[in-house]
Structure 1
């Protein structure tokens, strides 16, 4: 398997210059909704209420938006998120931006859909620490929620699965698009600076970023050990290995998307890199921990100007502002 990946790597690097000059661009497609959770305006509005409602937590002070705050790039701005009882958790809160396009959710991919993911933090002891039965009792005591659930899902429809479906529907509305990068490929060559264009060519070429960060939202939805050092309460984090039990996945984490990446600092699964400049420096030195390191990660030999150009390209991936008006809660 590792030999196959190395062969793929060699091939990708060989053709990377052609990618930069020809058909690298993929626009963000229309969001697709699951067959068993079709979109409606009313369902999205209900999901938005639930997303911002701290009563979904056992303490009644943590909402989805506490750790995935629109004002903080749909994350929390912390290296590692703070959960129930003000305790620091082991990983950085991933952004919700474009999560509806991801094949799996969470840094280790243990959740297969947004619906599945939405339920996880609610009941997790270290996160929102809410008993599902207790949550349903609390929400059923609020006529405004009962009315909205009935309108969206039908009579006697207030269940944890429908709560998750509503939240997932709202999260699929959080999309970053129409960035300077998109405008550049639509024909407006003034949308990106010359530095950003150089950074784009580096991204798809010498810097090898596109090996993992590819597609319309710049992720392969795969898992890679890129050599991130331990930080925070988790002294050892095996990442994807905890799910796959494959030695190849030890220390591997899901490739994050890069659209609007400037908004969701700090970076890496445990928040070890404070800025995009730090991220570029990390990759340029070939990571920090060599054990089980992906063969994709090697020193890059970037010049100081090339590093600046790469940062400028990442800035050019910032989409139009995602406007959010805080909902009135029942």
Structure 2
């Protein structure tokens, strides 16, 4: 199954690079102007140089859509990052454990102790090497990009395996340990109880054992990782690396009209009004000061002075306000 999508010009935040290409744009009777554009993405701009091993991708694809990675076996990565909804869920605040339905129609079925305090981020081009900070607050970050030793800053500290290959693989370690995302609520299962006590290693070990106990998965793991021979060889690191490979391959999206312009340097591929918008974006409007590079981001965090309205990160815990849960 191939999930590589083309994207609209407006959302062509799905490319990368730093070099510039000259682009001449005609706008009505105005003289031709020159706009400097970023260079297009290449395979080398993505993890695995754009070609992850097929067996690793297939393992990751199967795991991504399998609820086996959740404490109660009722929610998968693809529940919130649904390709049918642009690899998100269409909700302002995601509903993990205790939810039913998909996308904007997903709602809580059972009493829950909280909703995910942010929306599910789309995964387009998440496998680009330039994404070194992940999650809304950047709590998983490759420090090598900051001039450090190559370690990955993360909420688990030294509990995270030191040989995790990328921030994208490191990211996969954490939704499965969150009670409101995938692990479940206290009292529901051994995994949910471990999540309540923040026993991350215990959760990772239980998930590795659970997956390895499935003969089909063990065969897939052997195919993807030559050093895996028996179920006891399987670690959550193997699952995380497979999930990263799948996302890097499946959600790569560098075939939009914008990407074509970057590769060819030919603006006439776009309608005239779109050419004018591109010129405005990179020149008079100054949009590219922040939305820079072919991914249309500077990868920085910005305080935009917009107050939080309604629930979300920083709000009082629902556990405190409603000890018995809410619907």
Q: State whether TM-score is above 0.5.
A: yes
Partner SS for 2:179: coil
Partner of 2:297: 219
Contact (CA 8 Å) 1:230, 1:236: kept in 2 or not?
A: no
Give the superposition deviation at 1:78.
Answer: 1.1
Partner of 2:8: none
Cα 1:139–1:217 change in 2 (3 A) is same
Partner of 2:53: 40
Partner of 1:321: none
TM-score (norm. length: structure 2) = 0.61
2:118 equivalent among 79, 84, 91: 91
Partner of 1:109: 138
Partner of 1:199: 277
Cα 1:182–1:137 change in 2 (3 A) is closer
Between Structure 1 and Structure 2, whose CA radius of gyration is higher? 2
Contact (CA 8 Å) 1:80, 1:232: kept in 2 or not?
A: no
Q: Distance in 1 between matches of 2:180 and 2:87?
A: 20
Q: Distance in 1 between matches of 2:121 and 2:313?
A: 20
Partner SS for 1:233: coil
Partner of 1:12: none
Partner of 2:308: 230
Partner of 1:167: 243
CA RMSD between the two structures: 2.6
Q: Distance in 2 between matches of 1:188 and 1:18?
A: 8
* Residues 171-182 of structure 1: pairs in structure 2 closer than 5 A: 171-173=247-249, 174-182=251-259
Contact (CA 8 Å) 2:118, 2:313: kept in 1 or not?
A: no
Partner of 1:328: none
Partner SS for 2:124: coil
Partner SS for 2:36: coil
Partner of 1:139: 211
Give the superposition deviation at 1:221.
Answer: 1.1
1:52 to 2:129 alignment: no
Partner deviation per Cα, 1:95-131 (whole Å, 9 max, x = no partner)? 1111112122111111120011011101112211153
Partner deviation per Cα, 1:73-101 (whole Å, 9 max, x = no partner)? 11111112112223422111111111112
1:210 to 2:297 alignment: no
Give the number of the structure with larger relative contact order, counting CA–CA contacts within 8 Å between residues 6 or more apart: 2
Partner SS for 1:22: strand
1:63 to 2:76 alignment: yes
Q: Distance in 2 between matches of 1:180 and 1:18?
A: 16
Partner deviation per Cα, 1:31-90 (whole Å, 9 max, x = no partner)? 43369xx93110111011111111111121211111111111111111121122234221
More strand by share: 2
1:158 to 2:234 alignment: yes
Contact (CA 8 Å) 2:93, 2:312: kept in 1 or not?
A: no
How many residues are aligned here? Answer: 219
